[in-house]
């Protein structure tokens, strides 16, 4: 029931934030891939993490939303009992923190 709602939240974030390269979800299991430039190169190479990702993760966690972030992505896996309003609150917290990552997107690449 909430799969398309989550997909729409992710699509809205992708339209607004240049740091988002791709996103997808199956049910409430979602992932957002991040990029370092408009050419779509990953934010960080495999098995490394950009310092901005740690700052982003901290900001989201401090807002009360738990995400899993590593390498060039973060995962959105809320409890299956979440309501539509709670899902919107979670994505609002992610939206508020994404400017941290947008700030490191290179204009060229």
Q: Is residue 107 part of a domain?
A: no
- Helix, coil or strand: residue 70: strand
Query: 76 is in which domain, residue-wise?
Result: 3-102
Q: Give the CATH number, domain containing residue 34.
A: 3.90.1150.10
Reading across the β-sheet that carries 68-70, which strands appear in turn? Answer: 20-26, 29-34, 73-76, 68-70
Q: Is residue 109 part of a domain?
A: no
Q: Is residue 29 part of a domain?
A: yes
Q: For residue 107, is pLDDT > 80? A: no
pLDDT digits (tens, 9 = 90+) for 10-64: 999 999 999 999 999 999 999 999 999 989 899 998 899 999 999 999 999 999 9
Q: How many domains is the chain partitioned into structurally?
A: 1
Per-residue pLDDT band for 2 (boundaries 50, 70, 90) equals very high
Structure tokens at 11: 């699509």
pLDDT digits (tens, 9 = 90+) for 69-79: 999 999 999 99
Q: Quick one: pLDDT at residue 106?
A: 85
Q: Quick one: pLDDT at residue 20?
A: 97
Euclidean distance between CA atoms 43 and 55, whole angstroms? 14
Q: Quick one: pLDDT at residue 46?
A: 87
CB 42 within 8 A of CB 35: yes
Q: Is residue 47 part of a domain?
A: yes
Q: Quick one: pLDDT at residue 108?
A: 53
CB 25 within 8 A of CB 77: no
CB 56 within 8 A of CB 50: no
Q: Is residue 41 part of a domain?
A: yes
CB 94 within 8 A of CB 76: yes
Q: For residue 92, is pLDDT > 70? A: yes
């Amino acid at each position: 029931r909430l799969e398309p709602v989550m997909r729409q939240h992710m699509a809205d974030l992708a339209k607004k934030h240049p740091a988002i390269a791709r996103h997808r979800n199956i049910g409430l299991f979602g992932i957002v891939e991040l990029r370092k430039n408009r050419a779509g190169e990953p934010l960080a190479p495999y098995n490394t993490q950009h310092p901005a990702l740690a700052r982003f993760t901290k900001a989201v966690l401090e807002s009360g939303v738990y995400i899993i972030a590593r390498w060039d992505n973060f995962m959105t896996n809320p409890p299956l009992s979440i309501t539509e309003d709670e899902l919107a609150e979670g994505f609002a917290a992610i939206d508020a923190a994404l400017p941290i990552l947008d700030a490191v997107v290179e204009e060229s690449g």
